Structure 1
Amino acid sequence: MKLDPAFIFTAMLQLLSSLPVTLFITVVSVFCGLLIGTVVALIRIYRVPVLHPIAAFYVMFFRGTPMLMHLLLVYFGLPMLIDSLAAAFGWSFHSAAIPMLGFVLIAFSLTAGSYLSEVIRAAILSINRGQIEAAYSVGMTTWQALRRIVFPQAFAVSLPNLSNGLIGMLHGSTLAYTVSVVEINAKALIVASTNWKFLEAFIAAALIFWGVTLVIEKAAALLEKRLNTYNRGGVA
């Protein structure tokens, strides 16, 4: 058995057709996870009654269990819940109407939310409390202080960890093939099965993931540099 370098290039061209699916899963999951994580972080920071223990359990459970497990729990559990509610309340909507990609996005968003909540919580707590008190002294509400003062600084602080989370979700998107979503990993299996050149197909997939990861790292580095320049009062 010999390596076929020419087929690596051929496979790469075929795998690129699934790149939009991979990027869609990654971006949507991280965006939704960022929203979930922000809400959960604020609930835990301000210790909102009733919701605080629920948020703490959510973070503990999802950070303590594998990402694949989250996908399988959503994939098998959510249809049962939806169909049971539909039968009980007479809804016309059933789980069969949800595409496979929908289950992937729900599961991965919940996973991302649990990890990003800790990133956001640490970033918010790193901001000097005196700045928030100063905002209160000039008549700002808590939401105004968070939006105008805390969140911009917290974003700059958490940017390296946020980019790591984005890269982690990019790599984790390969698990979507377990529920028949054709992303790069699944496409590599399909391409390889046509002529049994699995090594070449997965080398091609690895090169694509590596390339996208490098783009994310470079973009995050440029954004971090720009934010640091702005925070020092320089000219970007």
Structure 2
Amino acid sequence: MSIDVSFILNAFVQLLFSVPTTLLITGVSVLCGFVIGMAIALVRIFSVPVLSSIAIWYVTFIRGTPMLVHLLLIYNGLPLLIDGLSHRLGWGFKSAAIPVIDFVCLSFSITASAYLSEVIRSGLLAIDRGQMEAALSIGMTKPQALRRVVLPQALAASIPNFSNTVIGMLHGSTLAFTVPVVEVMAKAQIVASTNWKFLESYLAAAVIFWGITVLIETSAGLLERRVNLYNRGGVA
């Protein structure tokens, strides 16, 4: 058995056209997951009645079930709910009008929110309570103290874990090929099916994912060094 290097290069070029879709899924999922995760983390940190218990249950359920299950539940279940409500309310709207990638982004955003909430919460717990007390003692309100003092330090401490989650969501985006979304892995299968050179096609996909992962790790490392330099009182 021999590996066709020329086909790897050819597949690599073809797969590059699907990279924007993969990055879109990852970016939207991480961004939306971060916003939802931040709300969940704050609700749990401040032990908001009722909402705190719901948040704990939500995080436990999402982290305890596979990412693929979330995708299939959203992809197969949400259209039934939308069509049922539309029929009952006489809207005349069909779920078929919604792009499939929207269901993928929603599903992955839900997954990311649970993991990112724990990343943010661990960062908040790492900050000494005295920081909040000191901010309140000089006349800041609690929201101001959170925004200006606590959250910047917590997010800085969370950079390594945050980058790991981003990489995890990037790799998890490959599950989108189970539904009709042509991201890198789906494109790899399409390219390979032309002459059954799956090994070469998957090697090309691996190189692309490895390259994106290195970029994320490098960016996170640079950001972490910059933040640490600032915290030590150096010049950024």
Task: Give your verdict on TM over 0.5.
Answer: yes
The Cα of 1:135 is off from its aligned counterpart by: 1.3
The Cα of 1:81 is off from its aligned counterpart by: 1.4
Give every structure 1 segment of 4 or more consecutive aligned residues whose post-TM-superposition deviation is greater than 4 Å: none
Match in the other structure for 1:213: 213
Partners of 1:94 and 1:137 lie apart in 2 by: 55
Q: Which amino acid in the other structure matches residue 117 of structure 2? A: S
User: After superposition, where does 1:220-231 map in structure 2 within 5 Å?
Assistant: 220-231=220-231
SS in 1 for 2:93: coil
The Cα of 1:213 is off from its aligned counterpart by: 0.5
Partners of 1:120 and 1:34 lie apart in 2 by: 9
User: After superposition, where does 1:1-236 map in structure 2 within 5 Å?
Assistant: 1-236=1-236
Partners of 2:58 and 2:80 lie apart in 1 by: 21
The Cα of 1:97 is off from its aligned counterpart by: 1.7
Q: Which amino acid in the other structure matches residue 26 of structure 1? A: T
Partners of 2:52 and 2:206 lie apart in 1 by: 41
Partners of 1:12 and 1:83 lie apart in 2 by: 40
Instruction: For residues 81-134 of structure 1, give each alpha carbon's deviation from its aligned partner in whole angstroms, at most 9, with x where no partner exists.
Output: 112222222223331121110000000000000001011011011111111111
Partners of 2:52 and 2:152 lie apart in 1 by: 24
Q: Which amino acid in the other structure matches residue 217 of structure 1? A: E
Q: Which amino acid in the other structure matches residue 88 of structure 2? A: A
Instruction: For residues 132-165 of structure 1, give each alpha carbon's deviation from its aligned partner in whole angstroms, at most 9, with x where no partner exists.
Output: 1111122212111111011110111000000000
Q: Which amino acid in the other structure matches residue 56 of structure 2? A: A
Partners of 1:42 and 1:82 lie apart in 2 by: 31
The 3 A distance-change label for structure 1 pair 139 and 90 is farther
Q: Which moved more, 1:199-208 or 1:132-141?
A: 132-141
Partners of 1:108 and 1:174 lie apart in 2 by: 11
Partners of 1:60 and 1:122 lie apart in 2 by: 15
SS in 2 for 1:76: helix
**Number of equivalent positions:** 236
Partners of 1:79 and 1:53 lie apart in 2 by: 29
Give percent identity, aligned residues only: 64
Partners of 2:55 and 2:235 lie apart in 1 by: 41
Gaps of 5+ in 1: none
Partners of 2:97 and 2:121 lie apart in 1 by: 36
Gaps of 5+ in 2: none
Q: TM-score normalised to the size of structure 1?
A: 0.98
Q: Which moved more, 1:151-160 or 1:89-98?
A: 89-98
Partners of 2:88 and 2:134 lie apart in 1 by: 52
SS in 1 for 2:107: helix
The Cα of 1:2 is off from its aligned counterpart by: 2.1
